Amino acid sequence: MAKSDNKTKPTPVSPTEFVAAVEHPTRRADGEKLLGWFEEVTGYTPRMWGPSLVGYGRYHYKYDSGREGDMLITGFSPRKANLVLYIMPGYRDMSDKLARLGKHKVGKSCLYINKLADIDMEVLREIVEDGFSYMKENYDTWPE
């Protein structure tokens, strides 16, 4: 089976410059806060992944199909519609934490919030730390 490249790869773009260029003032301010917050929580320096993902750390995955590659361990993207936070292992029984988080929606590995003021940052820390620890325990990971 031919292996396709992961389209989301690290880029040389500065995460600080990327966030500073976000047009929506609330998304930009929340992105600026998250830049340092994720660095504090993970201990890793941010790096851009593709054109719009600010990532922390890197892990290597390999699917049963043979496809493999590297991806960010956790991170965020200040998109037009909302902030997207990436919790890579997904939400393995995090219902108690999610119930305490505040206004949000979830996807498979994405947490969608309108603005940081809508959520409890301490609960978000619990969620990110849980996902980050899971990834480090179950995958080959390294700082990026």
The helix/strand/coil state of 138 is: helix
Looking at residue 5, what is its pLDDT?
67
Taking the chain (144 residues) in consecutive chunks of 10 residues, what is each chunk's mean pLDDT?
Answer: 67 97 97 98 97 96 86 96 90 89 94 97 97 92 84
The helix/strand/coil state of 19 is: helix
* pLDDT tens-place string over residues 33-47: 999 999 999 999 999
**Residue 6 within a domain:** no
Number of folded domains that form the chain = 1
**Residue 4 within a domain:** no
- Residue-number span of the structural domain to which 36 is assigned: 15-142
How far is residue 83's CA from residue 98's CA, in Å, rounded to a whole number? 16
Instruction: Specify the pTM.
Output: 0.91
How far is residue 76's CA from residue 1's CA, in Å, rounded to a whole number? 32
**Residue 8 within a domain:** no
Looking at residue 91, what is its pLDDT?
76
